[in-house]
């Protein structure tokens, strides 16, 4: 049976879903938005760089709440509303969260819109050691 996780330290989800679902050691993290854990109604950070940091930091909060880290991540899906404009800036932030040579598989997709007017959303798949 899957386990459905809500992490107290992570931001309130923007929809009717949990922070992560776990089954057979695989952990599927819901896409995180650039919202603040302690102020869900606060304005989003301005620009792709600040939003990318907030999204990645939110994912770290979910991972830590599950006793995991970025080293346990096997795959990421990244969504950008301004793909051509923001791809390089997003990559500059994203790569700082993973050790060189230890980066998970990744897909990056340009989309027309994201919840709460975000510029970026990232979801992850992790595996328990």
Q: How does pLDDT run along the chain (129 residues), one tens digit per residue?
A: 999 999 999 999 989 999 999 999 999 999 999 999 999 899 999 999 999 999 999 999 999 999 999 999 999 999 999 999 999 999 999 999 999 999 999 999 999 999 999 999 999 999 999
Q: Report the C-alpha dihedral over residues 90, 75, 71, 88, rounded to 10 degrees.
A: -10
**What was the pLDDT predicted at 40?**
86
Q: Are strands 20-23 and 26-32 parallel, antiparallel or unpaired?
A: antiparallel
pLDDT at 9: 97
Q: Which burial class, exposed, middle or buried, applies to 112 when counting CB atoms under 10 A from its CB (0-12, 13-18, 19+)?
A: exposed
Torsion on CA atoms 9, 116, 51, 22, rounded to nearest 10? 40
Query: How much is the pLDDT for 118?
Result: 98
Neighbours of 19 (CB within 10 A): 25
pLDDT of residue 84: 98
């Amino acid at each position: 049976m899957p386990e459905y996780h809500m992490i107290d330290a992570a931001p309130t989800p923007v929809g009717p879903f949990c922070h992560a679902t776990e089954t057979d050691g695989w952990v599927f993290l819901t896409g995180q938005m650039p919202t603040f854990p302690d102020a869900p109604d606060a304005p989003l950070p301005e620009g792709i760089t600040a939003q990318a940091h907030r999204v990645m930091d939110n994912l770290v909060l979910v991972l830590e709440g599950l006793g995991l880290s970025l080293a346990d991540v096997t795959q990421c899906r990244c969504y950008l509303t301004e793909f051509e404009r923001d791809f390089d800036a997003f990559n500059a932030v994203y790569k700082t969260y993973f050790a060189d040579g230890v980066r998970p598989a990744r897909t990056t997709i340009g989309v027309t819109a994201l919840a709460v007017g975000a510029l970026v959303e990232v979801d992850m798949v992790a595996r328990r050691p």
